[in-house]
Amino acid sequence: MASPRSLLAFDAAARLGSFTLAAEELNMQQPSVSAAIKQLEEALGRQLFIRGHRKVQLTPAGERLYAGVDRGLTDIEQAIASIRQLDQSGYVTLNSSSAFSYYWMIPRLNDLHAQYPEIDLRMQTSDREPDLDVENIDLAIRLGDGNYPGYHSARIADEVIVPVASPAVVAAAKANGMAAIRDLAAERLIHLEEPIRVRPTWRQWFAHHGLEEVAPRAGLRFNDYAMVLQAAVSGEGFAFGWQHIVRNLVERGLLAAQSDWAWRTGNGIYLVWSATRTLSPQAANVRDWIVSVADQTQDRL
């Protein structure tokens, strides 16, 4: 079992590329840093650094460990910051995916500010689903079946997935004979592969339409949906269009949607908040505003 001391030494050395600089940052002696990392390597049975004369470089095993350690320390820092802010008031924290923030919330912020100019909204994105009570988060967006123990929830949209691409890509595909769902398999496809949350795949989308045998064409792969949409807007191919997210892009003419090829998964997009903490009046106003806006735009694409 790795000790916290050895993990801190490893993190600093990996980040700074030097045992000496890591020792200075941690107020330790350089031999102590070296010994802590050596102990960690022996415990794991893997070399974590390639030692040079003046700098060190991570091995593949070290890079993998650093990704996890860095993420864990970042989570701890965020939790500490949230605890320090527990007594502050007057702001509302909304946690969501980057795509929901960019393409659903930001285009509507003027309306929110016009109705509630006193509200200080803090938009927080993450690739996981944090504990709202532990991290002092007021509201969050979740995709699922609505079963969220410990939370209240309001369904703000159905999960509806349609193929989207730039208007030029759609026009070219139709000119080349794309007329049926099966034809889409021959087009350039953009894939979403999130590292933590499970998301539907193109193979599942074709299977839903009765085409289990179709092998979707390989293409660009991203681990963030906002990047997927940016690639689609840039003309890189067809992407999944979650209807509640892409509606604004379609209305602005940046994307074209094959709406008649929609997949209604049965899941929904939910706004959630703690069942054990009372929302502040400001947070309740943001909650009610999101629900109201969602009701006005439901299923319009």
Rounded-to-integer distance, Cα 267 and Cα 248, Å: 21
pLDDT, position 86: 52
Residues with Cβ within 8 Å of 257's Cβ and at least 6 positions away in sequence, in order, are: 162, 163, 164, 241, 243, 246, 250, 301
Half-sphere exposure of 167 toward its Cβ, with a 13 Å CA cutoff?
A: 6
| Vertex 234: Cα angle to 264 and 244 (nearest 5) | 25
Q: Is the pLDDT of residue 143 over 50?
A: yes
- The larger pLDDT score, comparing residue 197 to residue 245, is at 245
Which H/E stretch holds residue 71? helix 60-84
User: Rounded to a whole number, what is the distance in angstroms from the first to the last CA of the chain?
Assistant: 53
Residue 247 has pLDDT above 70, yes or no: yes
Q: Comparing 258 with 3, which gets the higher pLDDT?
A: 258
Q: Report percent pLDDT > 70 for the chain.
A: 95
Residues 132-159 have a mean pLDDT of 93
In this prediction, residue 169 has a pLDDT band, given cuts at 50, 70 and 90, of very high
Q: How confident is the model at residue 1 (pLDDT cuts 50, 70, 90)?
A: low
Residue 199 has pLDDT above 90, yes or no: no
Q: Does residue 83 carry a pLDDT above 50?
A: yes
pLDDT for residue 71 is more than 50: yes
Q: Is the pLDDT of residue 88 over 70?
A: no
Q: What is the mean pLDDT of residues 12-16?
A: 93
Q: Which helix (H) or strand (E) holds 84?
A: helix 60-84
Burial (Cβ within 10 Å: 0-12, 13-18, ≥19) of residue 300:
exposed
Hey, how many other C-beta atoms are within 10 angstroms of the C-beta on 218?
A: 9
pTM over 0.75: no
pLDDT of residue 236: 96
Question: Which range, of 77-91, 233-247, 258-272, 281-295, averages the lowest pLDDT?
Answer: 77-91
Res 38: pLDDT: 93
**164 φ, ψ (degrees, to nearest 5):** -135, 150
Q: Identify the H or E element spanning 120.
A: strand 120-125
Among the four given CATH numbers 3.40.190.10, 2.60.120.380, 3.40.190.290, 3.20.20.70, the one describing domain 90-301: 3.40.190.290
pLDDT tops 90 at residue 215: no
Dihedral, CA atoms, 90, 281, 129, 291, nearest 10 degrees? Answer: -130
Q: Which fold has domain 4-84?
A: Arc Repressor Mutant, subunit A (1.10.10)
Residue 301 has a pLDDT of 45
Rounded to an integer, the average pLDDT of 174-193 is 93
Taking the CA atoms of residue 86, residue 78, residue 103 and residue 208 in that order, the dihedral angle to the nearest 10 degrees is -110
Q: Which residues contact 209 (CB under 8 A, 6 or more apart)?
A: 181, 261, 263
Q: How big is the chain, counted in residues?
A: 301
Residues 269-291 have pLDDT tens digits of: 999 999 999 999 999 999 999 99
| Contacts of residue 105, Cβ cutoff 8 Å, sequence gap at least 6 | 94, 96, 123
Helix axes 243-251, 225-233, angle to 10 degrees: 30
Phi, psi of 142 (to 5 degrees): -130, 145
pLDDT tens profile 26-55: 999 999 999 999 999 999 999 999 998 889
Q: What is the mean pLDDT of residues 217-230?
A: 89
* Domain residue limits, the chain: 4-84, 90-301
Instruction: Report the distance separating Cα 247 and Cα 203, nearest Å.
Output: 23
Are 156 and 269 spatial neighbours (Cβ–Cβ below 8 Å)? yes
